[in-house]
Amino acid sequence: MNTIRVLHIVGKMDRAGAETMLMNLYRSIDRNQIQFDFIVFSNQKGDYDEEILALGGRIFPIIANNPVKRMVELTNFLKKHSEYQIVHAHQLLANAFHLLAAKRAGVKKLISHAHSTSNGKTGLLNKIYEKFTLKIIRKISTHKLACGELAAKYLYGDDDKVWIIPNAVNILEMQAVADKSKNYISDRLGGRGIKIIQVGRVYKIKNQEFSLKIAEKLKERNINFTLYIVGQGPLESSLKQEIQTKLLSNNVKMLGIRSDITELMASADFMIMPSLHEGFPVVLVESQTVGLPALVSDRVSAEVDLGLGLVHFLPISSTKEWVDYLEKPNSKNLSNDTIFQKVQEAGFDVIKNSNSLLKFYKECSR
């Protein structure tokens, strides 16, 4: 049996939403039949690089300063590597350039994957760029995938031939880890009071600045709490400075990149996500899988609520409602069986999804 190698186009394989989703599928798929290789646009080591290599994947960096140069380099790469007849692009509007490169190189199967409901930019030039790239993506993609309905609507318009493949997790594996980790934060980090966690890149759209405003209000009310901010990003140093300026160092801890997200979520009282926009964040599937209540911006797609009563939406126009909610005792106590049934029924079981993806790639290769 010949192994089919699929080339995924990503920016860098760090612990972010789309990348984590991709790794969940990669770990679960039959790698004797399908192997993943990766084009990245960074010469820095990604968080998942070592695991990718251990699983038999390959990583090819392309270092170019703009989309056109990247397109040229990718075209040249694919002409030299004719073994790749499936290219799977994950970079939203930039998918246009990556798929054009693949088409120019003679690749037959051009897969675009939507992971967000917006590119988060404004202005006339951005609107022109957006219109131009959307037109290309919709025209040349041979297959269209999305993490949810709203992400599909953004990237593909009214096209009804889009496969929605939810950001799935290994439910049983996560629950087994969570069952052993109920006191993880207290034991490892010395957490006190209400334990709140935020997971995501330290980036404008994740809105960690709003989280600090929440922390200020909690402190003003003399509420005993600790907020753990997990992730890295370009705003990390400025956020650390703001924590010091606002005298929040005793209450807000920046943990950077972590490999123990499940353990942290299992031992927290709340997750917060005050994002300016999102596609379908896999971290909210993870939080519900371990039974963690989440307080989420109303700009996040309602699709993330899996019907377990664990997701509560609030506007980010004011912090008061957020603080009022976090003050309440956390009384949710759902059984693993109840959670498993809901998460699986909603389509978020990575075992089932990886089997579906395997069939999809095999059909593409015919």
Provide the percentage of residues in the chain whose pLDDT is more than 90.
83
Domain layout of the chain by residue ranges: 4-168+349-364, 171-345
User: String of b and e for 190-216 (b: at least 16 CB within 10 Å)?
Assistant: ebeebbbbbbbbbbeebbbebbbbbbb
Over residues 14-20, mean pLDDT: 86
Q: 350: pLDDT confidence band, cut at 50, 70 and 90?
A: very high
Rounded CA-CA distance 217/272 in Å is: 15
Q: Are 10 and 95 in contact (CB under 8 A)?
A: no
Q: Are 56 and 31 in contact (CB under 8 A)?
A: yes
Rounded CA-CA distance 20/46 in Å is: 12
Rounded CA-CA distance 217/194 in Å is: 14
Using alpha carbons, select from 354, 273, 281 the residue that is nearest to residue 314. Answer: 273
Q: What are 170-195's pLDDT values in tens digits?
A: 999 999 999 999 999 999 998 789 99
Q: Would the CATH topology of 4-168+349-364 be identical to that of 171-345?
A: yes
Mean pLDDT of the chain: 94
Q: 332: pLDDT confidence band, cut at 50, 70 and 90?
A: low
Rounded CA-CA distance 65/258 in Å is: 29
Residue 331 has pLDDT above 80, yes or no: no
- For domain 171-345, give the fold: Rossmann fold (3.40.50)
- For domain 4-168+349-364, give the fold: Rossmann fold (3.40.50)
